[in-house]
Copies of this chain bind each other. A is one copy, B any other.
Amino acid sequence: MATGFFCCQAVYDGAVTDLTSAGAATTPTRRGRGEKSSATIYDIAKLAGVNPSTVSRALSKPGRVSAKTQKIIEDAAAELNYQVNPFARALPTGRTQTIGLIVADITNPTFFDIIRGAETTGSARDYTLVLAESAESPETEVTAARRLLSTVDGLILASPRMDDDQIRALAADKPVAVINREITGVPCVVPDVNKGISEAVRSLAANGHEKLAYVAGPKQSWMTARRWDGVKAAAEWSKLSAVRLESSKPTVDGGRQVARDVLESGATAVITYNDLLAIGLMQELQAGGMSVPDQISIVGFDDIFGADFTTPALTTVRSPLGECGTRAVTILLDMLQGHEAPGEAVRVETELVVRGSSGRLLA
């Protein structure tokens, strides 16, 4: 039952540290064992000759005190190098200036951009990000979410593994935004796969492919179904046949393992649930003597870090994951300011990034 939180708002910076006590009253603060004690609004009040509540108002309620006292108080705060104590502030108000983000796997590169997008957007609006990992387990995820929820102002779930009702329960408590999944009644940000997928399928069709395979991801992933739907529809439209293959896990290793099935399927073009599968698949096929893209074209999904490290570099449907993070934070912070949550899921565009792993069939 670890709990974490925190916040920070560092408004007053600039003055040098201590050493200049200017000895007026008595040395005010002393604390338990940490030598360094930061100034409190009481110290400021004493220095400025006003009441602590006036200090509080001056520093948080703009316009509530006269410009004159405002100035006096700000000067005193600067001199004492004052920083609000986030805990003291959070206790009565419940506001923590913090948002939580839960991802399934910290080391999965898919989430890197989401994390960064969220962090950047959050700190631009003076919110701090607290990160937690669910280790791909729905149970851990629920626990982490509950835990986090009590210490943050809002929560973002990226590709959550728990079920819809659990998410709705969380959302009933505090603002929640979901990335990479659609749940009615909860604000969601999802990449709209259709554009990217149709571009991919059309490009494959134009290169002479007729038989397409889709390598699916984890069963409990909402996205794997959406992507398969998209591939099926686009293939139909382009008059290609499409077959769905299952992978054991959505990793490089899973991609290697599915290579056999891919060959057996007779498909000449493959779209995978994510880039890791595509990379593993490509490695295994190449190891078996196949030439990519001359004999088989491979298209990944997401455009993760490293997708262009391969030879040939991976063609992939890019999901704007950073934007997803940004959007989710924006929605959340807007909700915290009293805005309505968007009724519809927010959709962000995907697009095909053509690199070397897809092309004309030479066989």
A residues apposed to B, CB below 8 Å? 1-13, 31-32, 34, 36, 38, 59-62, 83-88, 90-98, 106-107, 109, 112-113, 115-116, 119, 122-123, 125-133, 143, 146-148, 150-152, 172-174, 279, 286, 305-306, 309-311, 336-338
Taking CB atoms, residues of chain B closer than 8 Å to A32 are 93-94
Between A and B, 11 residue pairs with Cβ closer than 8 Å are A1-B11, A5-B86, A5-B96, A5-B128, A6-B130, A6-B148, A36-B173, A86-B150, A119-B132, A305-B306, A306-B309
Question: Would you call A4 and B85 a contact (CB within 8 A)?
Answer: no
Taking CB atoms, residues of chain B closer than 8 Å to A13 are 143, 146
Question: Would you call A8 and B150 a contact (CB within 8 A)?
Answer: yes
Question: Would you call A86 and B152 a contact (CB within 8 A)?
Answer: no
Oligomeric state, in number of copies?
A: 2
- Which chain B residue shows the least CB distance to A84? B3
Closest Cβ of chain B: how far from A168's Cβ, in Å? 13
Question: Would you call B9 and A129 a contact (CB within 8 A)?
Answer: no
Question: Would you call A95 and B8 a contact (CB within 8 A)?
Answer: yes
Question: Would you call A85 and B119 a contact (CB within 8 A)?
Answer: no
Question: Would you call A116 and B126 a contact (CB within 8 A)?
Answer: no
CA distance A107 to B260 in the complex (A): 34
Taking CB atoms, residues of chain B closer than 8 Å to A130 are 4, 6, 128, 130-131
Closest Cβ of chain B: how far from A99's Cβ, in Å? 9
Taking CB atoms, residues of chain B closer than 8 Å to A87 are 5, 87, 90-91, 96, 151
Contact partner of A112 among B38, B83, B106, B127, CB < 8 A? Answer: B106
- Which chain B residue shows the least CB distance to A91? B87
Taking CB atoms, residues of chain B closer than 8 Å to A106 are 112, 115-116, 119
- Which chain B residue shows the least CB distance to A275? B309
Question: Would you call A6 and B96 a contact (CB within 8 A)?
Answer: yes
Task: Tell whether A151 pairs with B8 under 8 Å between CB atoms, given A87-B87, A127-B2, A133-B119.
Answer: yes
In the complex, besides A32-B94, A131-B131, 12 extra interface pairs with C-beta distance below 8 angstroms are A3-B9, A4-B96, A4-B128, A6-B62, A6-B148, A7-B336, A8-B147, A85-B91, A86-B151, A106-B112, A107-B305, A311-B311
